[in-house]
Structure 1
């Protein structure tokens, strides 16, 4: 175990510092744009630019890493992000914010491919659960606590952007100091949305709706908080509550999803998200700040966990050799939702006021719940067979962290027994739809 930790401590430390800067940036950017008089609709467009950049970066990342290696890729990309953050101090128009946020989406997608791929290759089956727990707890705690740093500076000055840049620059130090050999470079991922939808429609639709809902809520929550009368510090604390709820609920929900048809869990989480969205609307109308904070924690514990269950559900169905392509396809579906969702969420706020964001979230989540229920009625499935992994929508390299993906020392996926498909099976118990082609 100690030798395994030695292999990942540098990338874990680097990613923790990187996520600390990223979490603070998520709180800072929308508040800065609002303070400069940029409309909520324009803030939504900026958030959508991040989704476009992120999905683009996921396609370019594997070839870039193969060309320069993990360590040099991380170093060059982190330096680029740091410069982009400093450039945001000079952004005074919507077009400038769109350009900079799109570029940060590309670079962060490539960085997360580096970090996820590194962990995937080093987390062997013997210590997989403990290694991944350490990595994900460290990074999620950083993402959770860092928005509170908004109280240490003035959003109208450049100090907080400099702090974000400093944290991202500091993430270079553990990587530069590593003495371990970097993993083998990742292979490209083929996106097969149509084929995966034929095999696991609940997972594909779930990942897309997660992007539709979570994207605008995370991107616009600070603006929502200020718009309903909260202070800037309280508005940033809403992001803390979202991540804290997600951290608290990941493993209980994972335990539950490992013992039932995961589609029941997805439907329950979506329905719960819709109901808690209505609770947030009621609490904001009552100006009950403490209840709003707890409601956001509950919302994060439900909505931010759906993607992990969708990945686990899809990986239960496809062959082990298809997991990389499957996770890449789900990531693409999520990124598509993240691109579109902020536009709709911001428009809802413009038309209906601040409450429009969670009216939209409630309706979209309810739609997902209804779709999953229809799938359950149409196709019965046995309880889940695969293990649950806390998969965040970061990069296609996270396929190695998925359930049933056994990674050897070389980073190759080992095969396990054939799963059952979601559609009708033949006499051999295999579904034609589960034969999804993967990239070489």
Structure 2
């Protein structure tokens, strides 16, 4: 009996983390690939920001509609279904290279990825409350580690022709194998409950703001950073290294965030994370050598990638397992809203001399100030039943 329980627990972590890691490699490659191939498919570079916003609008819609699907199908089947939908959009893009089709494909991809995130996050957060931070640390490390590896697809496989899309499609198919082959370990949803508007409003405000800002930063990093670096005359090989540095920074900070989040105020921790990014953007304004840029972008990654796990853990601290799927959907909605708005606003900054550096500096500084104020006047909040 003990052996069976232990295997079930290992499976409950292995299946989502293994599938997520392969998905992240494919997603990381695809996210950095799209801004670099518009010219090859004879489309305007102005389309890049709209493709990013279309994707995050899909993520926003998906965060609203996926909960009943997960509840009805279960985590394992839902994961495979959402990956299959994402794979269909990857097939669509090179076969029909038109602006309208690409915008639609990225919108549908956003819905699919929202489903993947809700499935994985709720899968790992349901269960022992004491293990949530640790499990979420596994989640973020796998996500960012896989995304980092995906960046090197630009260098190893390239950006020309159909080969990148074939590789991404193959990776998504491999990501489906863990939930298909291992049928044990998915969480049991006993009487899952939705959150009313009143209950949503009672969720920790810093958690909602943290997810919103995380979306603004991540949407701009994935959607516009490769193009911004390319416009500065940086070669594709160096762009892949710089993007990997951002994500490696985010990956490196995860165990530190997991350790600190149970030892100090999460609002204060988010403020400190933002200040790291403010420092990095201040330095990069004055020093733009490749080595310094790589170091400061790694610090930006630490700052931006730390916010979401801290915020979602803060939101779920006082929640019963029955509310976890609904709560992750609300947090993803907040993240997606930021992700949809971020590239549009950041695109305005890209037309200025300081570009994305100024955008990140302003957003991170404003968030740090808010989180410091929230930490200073923090009071315990209890979710109404």
TM-score, structure 1 as length reference: 0.76
CA distance in 1: counterparts of 2:77 and 2:375, whole angstroms: 47
Partner deviation per Cα, 1:332-367 (whole Å, 9 max, x = no partner): 211111111111112221x215x4122111111111
CA distance in 1: counterparts of 2:246 and 2:7, whole angstroms: 32
The CA deviation at 1:147 is: 0.9
1:331 and 2:294 equivalent? no
SS of the counterpart of 2:184? coil
Whether contact under 8 Å (1:190, 1:328) holds in the other structure is no
CA distance in 1: counterparts of 2:138 and 2:320, whole angstroms: 28
CA distance in 2: counterparts of 1:102 and 1:304, whole angstroms: 23
The CA deviation at 1:179 is: 4.1
Structure 2 residue aligned with 1:16, among 10, 21, 25?
A: 21
1:216 aligns to what? 220
2:52 aligns to what? 47
2:245 aligns to what? 241
CA distance in 1: counterparts of 2:52 and 2:372, whole angstroms: 31
SS of the counterpart of 2:263? coil
1:300 and 2:301 equivalent? yes
2:99 aligns to what? 94
CA-based RMSD of the aligned residues comes to 2.9
Kindly report which structure 2 residues correspond to 1:62-73, keeping only aligned pairs within 5 A, or say none. 62-73=67-78
Kindly report which structure 2 residues correspond to 1:244-393, keeping only aligned pairs within 5 A, or say none. 244-284=248-288, 288-316=289-317, 325-349=326-350, 351-352=351-352, 355-377=354-376, 379-380=377-378
CA distance in 2: counterparts of 1:313 and 1:126, whole angstroms: 13
Query: Which structure: greater helix fraction?
Result: 2
The CA deviation at 1:276 is: 1.3
Partner deviation per Cα, 1:1-28 (whole Å, 9 max, x = no partner): 4552244433332222111111111111
Partner deviation per Cα, 1:193-245 (whole Å, 9 max, x = no partner): x7655663322223222222221122211112211121112112222112211
1:150 aligns to what? 154
The CA deviation at 1:317 is: 6.3
Partner deviation per Cα, 1:387-419 (whole Å, 9 max, x = no partner): xxxxxxxxxxxxxxxxxxxxxxxxxxxxxxxxx
Whether contact under 8 Å (2:55, 2:108) holds in the other structure is yes
CA distance in 1: counterparts of 2:69 and 2:257, whole angstroms: 36
Structure 1, unaligned runs of 5 or more: 382-419, 422-433
**Worse-superposed segment, 20-29 or 112-121:** 112-121
Structure 2 CA distance for partners of 1:276 and 1:132, relative to 1, 3 Å:
closer
Whether contact under 8 Å (1:41, 1:343) holds in the other structure is no
The CA deviation at 1:52 is: 1.4
The CA deviation at 1:252 is: 1.9
Residue correspondences, number: 379
Whether contact under 8 Å (2:125, 2:135) holds in the other structure is no
CA distance in 2: counterparts of 1:25 and 1:258, whole angstroms: 35
2:179 aligns to what? 175
1:32 aligns to what? 37
Partner deviation per Cα, 1:68-87 (whole Å, 9 max, x = no partner): 44443333332222121121
The CA deviation at 1:149 is: 1.5
Structure 2 CA distance for partners of 1:221 and 1:197, relative to 1, 3 Å:
same
TM-score, structure 2 as length reference: 0.86
**Worse-superposed segment, 367-376 or 183-192:** 183-192
1:83 aligns to what? 88
Structure 2 CA distance for partners of 1:32 and 1:371, relative to 1, 3 Å:
same
